[in-house]
Chains A and B, each alone.
Chain A
Amino acid sequence: MRQHPFETIVAEHGPAVLRVCRAVLGPTTAAEDAWSETFLSAMQAYPTLRADSNIEAWLVTIAHRKAIDQLRAEKRRAVPTEHLPETPAKDGVPGEGEPELWKALHALPLKQRQTIAYHYLAGLPYAEVAHVLGGSPQAARRAAADGIAKLRKSYLEGEDR
């Protein structure tokens, strides 16, 4: 089978990869940098990708590594703050409409954020999530369940107030 134009890969998977990057890194410029790095790197390797590959899983694997790069870079230039920075983009405010949910998500431990992002936002089964993260599918499932439970508590209860 012949490969699709990379443009269609960006159109089909760009939004999901952005949600994944934001879930892991918060609605920040770092998330957008991770998105850009992901697609640039994917485009570089695209002609050698096997035609029967699972594109979504492939992209999430790359996004996972790029997000980790961003986290490391952030640590190096870390400025401790009480609060998350305000949304940096002037147009198309990241996470528009649900800033509290993004914030609650970003407050979770990294592993929980990652499992939620890869399973719920990118739609990968836990076996694939485990493949990306390392560890067992059971562990991935548990981390996601713990994260969701915490989200319910912090976000939904906050909403009731």
Chain B
Amino acid sequence: MTTTPATPAGDGELLARLTETDQATQERLHARLAAAAERAGILDVAYRTLDTPVGPLLLAATERGLVRVAYAREDHDKVLQQLAGSLSPRLLRAPARLENATRQIEEYFTGRRNLFDLPLDLCLAHGFRRTVLTHLSEIGYGATASYAAVAAAAGSPKAVRAVGTACATNPLPVIVPCHRVVRSDGTLGQYVGGTDAKKVLLALEATP
């Protein structure tokens, strides 16, 4: 067996003239694929990114609802890879499914919305962490609660650290308001989006 190149010199050069791709066509075909996949019911995860005052957010939704919101510091490529592994690799950039979520988040950041009304898919949170997340929406816009208070509300007053973990692994930050959970001594505490992002969100909600 020889590995002699099959290509007489120059052949590749001739065809190389055809290797340019036009971006507009690729974009159009991609949008067409996303729409067709949605119609065919095989678009398991749709995502887009959105620029916000706390940096670019990745939004991802299953057919059941918004399933993931990720900060840039979480590394969007890594998050997509994780979603492909834990949910489905049939994952495409498809903003259409996220239109409603996008609009509501934009309204939130411009102070025109203090309650999200979106179908959520909590399938990435399990057990006690999921219980904690369901209690977070009880903390109203502009208010805060301590980790201990959330633990008590979730029915396990001693599980303060577990509440911290639930907040740190919240798959839907901003929407499920873990940023409203602060330490009992009044200091901010950690945040999945970084403490600066937590400050921005709390300041936004404190603005009348």
Contact = CB atoms under 8 A, between A and B. Distances in A.
27 contacts: A2-B84, A4-B89, A5-B45, A5-B81, A5-B84, A5-B91, A5-B92, A6-B84, A6-B89, A6-B90, A6-B91, A7-B47, A7-B92, A14-B26, A14-B30, A18-B29, A19-B21, A35-B29, A36-B36, A39-B33, A43-B42, A47-B89, A89-B25, A92-B24, A96-B20, A98-B17, A148-B14
Interface of A: 2-7, 10, 14-15, 18-19, 22-23, 32, 35-36, 39-40, 43-44, 46-47, 89, 91-98, 101-102, 105, 116, 119-121, 125-126, 141, 144-145, 148, 151-152, 155-156
Interface residues of B, number: 40
A10 B29 CA distance: 10
B6 interface: yes
A10 B30 contact: yes
A46 B89 contact: yes
A7 B91 contact: yes
A2 B14 contact: no
Contacts of B75: none
Interface string B1-34: 0000011100110110111111111111110110
Nearest to A19: B18
Interface string B63-97: 00000000000000000110111001111110000
Given A18-B29, A43-B33, A94-B22, 14 more contacts: A2-B85, A5-B83, A5-B91, A5-B92, A6-B84, A18-B25, A19-B21, A23-B18, A32-B29, A36-B29, A36-B32, A36-B36, A47-B90, A91-B25
Contact of A40 (B15, B33, B83): B33
Interface of B: 6-8, 11-12, 14-15, 17-30, 32-33, 36-37, 40, 42, 45, 47, 80-81, 83-85, 88-93
